[in-house]
Structure formats: structure tokens, C-alpha cells
Amino acid sequence: MKPFAYSNVALFAIGPAVVGVLGLITVPLFTWVFPAPVLGQYAIMVVALGMLGGLVTLGLDQSFAREFNEVPDVGALLRASLVPGLLLTFFVGLALLLLDGEFQRLMWGSEYKTAGYAFVLTIVANFVGRFAGLSLRMRGRAAAYSAGMVIPRVGILVGVAACYLFLRREHDIEVLVWVYAISSVITSSYLCIATRADWTRCLEAKRGFPQTKSLLRYGFPLMVSASLFTVVGGLDRISLRVLSDLAHLGTYAVAISVAAAMVVLQQAFNVIWTPYVFSIAKTDEERTLAVINRMSRVAVVLLGTIYFAISLMRDLLQPLIQHSYHDAIDLIPICLLFPLFYTLSEITVAGSNIARRTGNSIISILAALLIGVVAALTFVPGLAGFGAGIASALAGLTYLVSRTEISCMAWKVIERRPIYLSAILLLISAILCGRGEVALYATILPLVLHVALLWKCYVEATELAMNAINPRRMR
């Protein structure tokens, strides 16, 4: 792997940025091509793919990344990491095909002739592409890595546009899952071609790899945590599928897709933040603490600004999306909160990572899952999509608070007041938006309070931004 270079950051971040833009283009197109129940089926399919995709790796993708720079034979490492999960993927795929009717009824409420095959094909393609993408990331091939993120979005956009223009049959979930599957296969093929040297070494490697058990010991607990977190992240859609109907889920899926802009920011931020904080923690813990506190203060300003900007401008989407989906517009603010809280927690959890106390993460996940399930059972039956958004936001807030407090106990106490104050104000604002309150009370008043109560954070963030624009001011 190339050493982390900040000149490479832009290339790594450009992938998530382009994905965000393509997502904003794709969402309105989806609403004109597919009815709400189909988008509801699509939303639950994406959650299922995320859960199964994490399970079949057995956590060996994380082991592969951890050992990449430690072993002399990357081909043997890739083989050892790939084979157990590939076998599990085969058996999972076979089971899904044998139970095709039951699985489709559970997930989509109906059976489709070939949708099960497309779903299994997607699992296989995503599994192989996961390891190929990791190889690119570990080798520092930023441009190729970003291209691997953009290609599937382009494929879905082109596929859906082609369906709208040329396909005369009903636009049901079977069409959409095949679009997704073909896009995944194309992406996986590109990633494998881009990493063909590693695959050649993998095929040439000896069968035995002495550290297979140690790879599983490291990766399996991480897989369990990641799978549980996937459930937490998809709890809103799962609860709507179980406690409501596909039409409400489809409307909610539109709001989630718009809110995915926050996920893009989170991915780009993680590329920069984690390597940076580890690089300074090696030499100066006090400086690291100061950097974490400063980043926390700047983050509440940046993320708060993004939240309020999207909340205030969300009505601009009305002419772009099909009128039957207009209820999704008021759900956008509440859907922004889970990825926003997660991004904040990535800053506050740095202490646990520095202290190598990552095993405590399961406590935060279980706490978030418990609160999310209770909230979903309480709010979804009566409030449908809005209730699912509240449950997701409360789960995210629980995850942020528990992760932060555990990190403070594991390492050093960080400044938490701005984070918690901002989170509470944003949650109140999002709930008011979801209730359909006028912008004065739902967005503008919380924005004024956010600026007034966190004024010092805004001043600090403004000074940092001005210094970045004009470095001479720092002299």
C-alpha cells in the first residue's frame, strides 16, 4: 500500500461526491418510472443485500485489509480470505434458490419468475467486488477506487432510463432487481480487471495458508458487529415492511435516497479523518485530544449547516418528483439524522480506536438496536414513514451518545456539550418538519437557536474556513 498522502484525498473523495450527485438525479427518475410499492420492495432488497453481503464475508474482508501490508504473499492472503466466504456464498445462494418462493414472499410479498436468480447473482458479484475494491483501496489507487463507486450508480441510472424509454412491460421489482444485478456484475468485472495482478497471484498461490484461523478470529467478531449495525441502519425500512405496507415504504425510500447525501459526506470524511487522527496520535496525545475537540466543534457547524440548508430547500424537489411522492419531502429532515449522528460519532469514537478498545462497539450497537426497536414498535403503526424516521433518529442518537461516552471512559474525556446540544436541536427540528409545521417553527427558529447557542463554534469554523481560503491570514 502507498503511504497515506493527502494529495490522494481528493481522488478518494471524488467517488462519493459523484455518487451523491448521481443519486439526486436517479431519485426523481425512479419516482416517474416505478410506483411506490415497487420502490418499497427495492428498499427492502437493498437492506437484505447489505445484511447478506456482510454475513457471507465472515469478516474476512476486514482481516484481508488488516493483513494486507503484513504478509509477503498477497495472493495467498486473498485466497485464504476469499475461499471460505465464497463457499458460504454458494450455499446461501443455493438455499435462496431452493426456497425462492418463500424468500420472495417474505421480502417482497409476491413471487416473480426470475427475480430470485438476479438477487443471488447480485450477492455473488458484490462479494467478489468487495475484495477487489479493498485491494484497490489498500494499494492507494484512488482514481480506480472512485471509479468503482461511480460505475454501479451510472449503471442503475442508465438501466432505469432505458426501462422508461424502451421497456413496454410492467415496471415491477423484477425489472429493477435485474437492473441492479447487471450493474453489480459490470462493476465487479471492472474491479477484477483493475486488480487482475492480485487475482493471478491468488490463483497461483498454494492452497494452504497458515493464518486462516487467525484471520477468522480477527474478522468474525467484526462481521457480527457490522451485521448488527446494518440491522440498526435498516431498522426503519424493516419496521415499515413488517408494521406498515409497501406503499408507505416506497414513499419513505424516496426520502432516504435524498438523505443519502449525508452518507456520501460521511464516506468522504472517513477517508480523511481516520488516517489523520492516527498519524498524530502516535506522537502527541494531548494534541490529538485538542484536534478531536476542534473537529467536533467544526463538525456540528458543518453538519448543522448542511441539515438546515437541505431542510429549507427541500420544497424545490416538488416539481422534480412525481406528485404521489410529495409526502416524502417532509420526511427528508428526519431521514438526514441517522447518517449525521453516525458521522459525528466517527469523530468522538477516535479515543476508543486510539486505545484499541474497539470491542466495546457492540455495546453501542446493541443499545441503538434496543432503542430503535422499541421506538419502531411505538411509532410506526400509527405514523408509518414518519414513525420509522423517528425510530431511526433515536437509534442514531443513542449510538452517538453511547459511542461517545464509552470512548471517553476508554481514553480521554472530550468536549461533548456542543455535540449533544446540536443533536437535540436537530432532532426537534426534524420532528417539527415531519409534522408539517411551517418553516418558521420547524427550521428557522431551530436554526437561530443553533447559531446562538453554538456561537463560539460558528466563529471558530468561520476562522478555519477563512484561513483555508486565504493562508496569509495565518501569518
Position with higher pLDDT, 2 vs 446? 446
pLDDT of res. 350: 77
pLDDT of res. 176: 92
Pick the most confident of 168-177, 309-318, 330-339, 340-349.
330-339
pLDDT averaged over every residue in the chain: 85
Position with higher pLDDT, 291 vs 188? 188
Question: The C-alpha cell of 86 is what?
Answer: 465464497
- Cβ neighbours for 142, distance < 8 A, ≥ 6 positions apart: 8, 11, 12
The arithmetic mean of pLDDT across residues 374-382, rounded, is 94
Confidence of residue 274 (pLDDT cuts 50, 70, 90): low
- The secondary structure of residue 99, as a DSSP letter, is T
Calculate ∠ Cα 309-454-403, nearest 5°.
Answer: 85
In this prediction the pTM is: 0.86
Position with higher pLDDT, 264 vs 146? 146
Contact 82, 60 (CB under 8 A): yes
Asked whether the predicted pLDDT for residue 210 surpasses 80, the reply is no
CB atoms within 10 A of CB 217: 12
CA dist list (Å): 126 to 35, 89, 192, 369 = 27, 11, 11, 26
Asked whether the predicted pLDDT for residue 265 surpasses 90, the reply is no
Angstrom distance (rounded) from CA 425 to CA 333:
12
pLDDT of res. 78: 87
> Coil, strand or helix: which one is 109?
coil
Encode pLDDT of 384-440 as tens digits.
999 999 999 999 999 999 989 988 888 788 888 999 999 999 999 999 998 887 777
Q: How many residues are recorded in the chain?
A: 475
Angstrom distance (rounded) from CA 321 to CA 32:
7
CA dist list (Å): 121 to 167, 175, 232, 274, 435 = 22, 14, 25, 33, 41
pLDDT of res. 4: 46
Encode pLDDT of 65-82 as tens digits.
877 877 778 888 888 888
CA dist list (Å): 83 to 75, 93, 292, 298, 449 = 12, 15, 40, 44, 55
Position with higher pLDDT, 353 vs 95? 95
The arithmetic mean of pLDDT across residues 199-215, rounded, is 75
Straight-line distance from the first to the last Cα atom of the chain, in angstroms, rounded to the nearest whole number? 36
Asked whether the predicted pLDDT for residue 471 surpasses 70, the reply is no
pLDDT of res. 63: 83
Confidence of residue 3 (pLDDT cuts 50, 70, 90): very low
Encode pLDDT of 30-57 as tens digits.
998 899 999 999 999 999 999 999 899 9
Contact 364, 401 (CB under 8 A): no
Percentage of the chain surpassing pLDDT 90? 41
Asked whether the predicted pLDDT for residue 371 surpasses 70, the reply is yes
Encode pLDDT of 338-350 as tens digits.
989 998 888 888 7
Asked whether the predicted pLDDT for residue 170 surpasses 90, the reply is no
Encode pLDDT of 138-148 as tens digits.
887 888 888 99
Percentage of the chain surpassing pLDDT 70? 88
CA dist list (Å): 31 to 6, 26, 37, 38, 253 = 39, 9, 11, 10, 10
pLDDT of res. 2: 46
The arithmetic mean of pLDDT across residues 444-448, rounded, is 92
pLDDT of res. 1: 44
Confidence of residue 368 (pLDDT cuts 50, 70, 90): very high
